[in-house]
Amino acid sequence: MPTISPEERRAAPAKAAAVRRERAEVREALKRGRLSLGEVLAAESDAVRKMPVRALLESLPAIGKARAARLLGELDISESRRVRGLGVQQRDRLLDRFDPQG
């Protein structure tokens, strides 16, 4: 494990809170329709790229935990897959299903 300085150790909780806040904002924007799934998948933010795909699906309107799990199986995406780990075909299947415009 890398060693971190005392300053980095003190800053870690604030950094983690900022990441959680950004992810919550993205999930809320998805739920409200202010962001499309295509826009989220194209995001360059590390916080978004490290989000589980399952969490994104659960943020879409009318999709809960059970339906998100079923959809991951149908789309051949692992339950533990993160946004940055999606392959081209997996990304395309998601966009075809939930974001036909883009």
Radius of gyration of the chain (CA): 15
The C-alpha angle with vertex 66 and arms to 98 and 78, in degrees rounded to 5, equals 70
Q: Which CATH number, 3.40.50.720, 3.40.30.10, 1.10.8.50, 3.40.50.620, labels domain 11-98?
A: 1.10.8.50
Is a pLDDT exceeding 90 seen at residue 23?
Answer: yes
Query: How do residues 36-61 score in pLDDT, each as one tens digit?
Result: 999 999 999 999 999 999 999 999 99
Confidence at 20, pLDDT banded by 50, 70, 90: very high
Domain ranges for the chain, please list them.
11-98
Q: If DSSP states are collapsed to H, E and C, what string results for 48-76?
A: HHCCEHHHHHHHCCCCCHHHHHHHHHHCC
Is a pLDDT exceeding 90 seen at residue 92?
Answer: yes
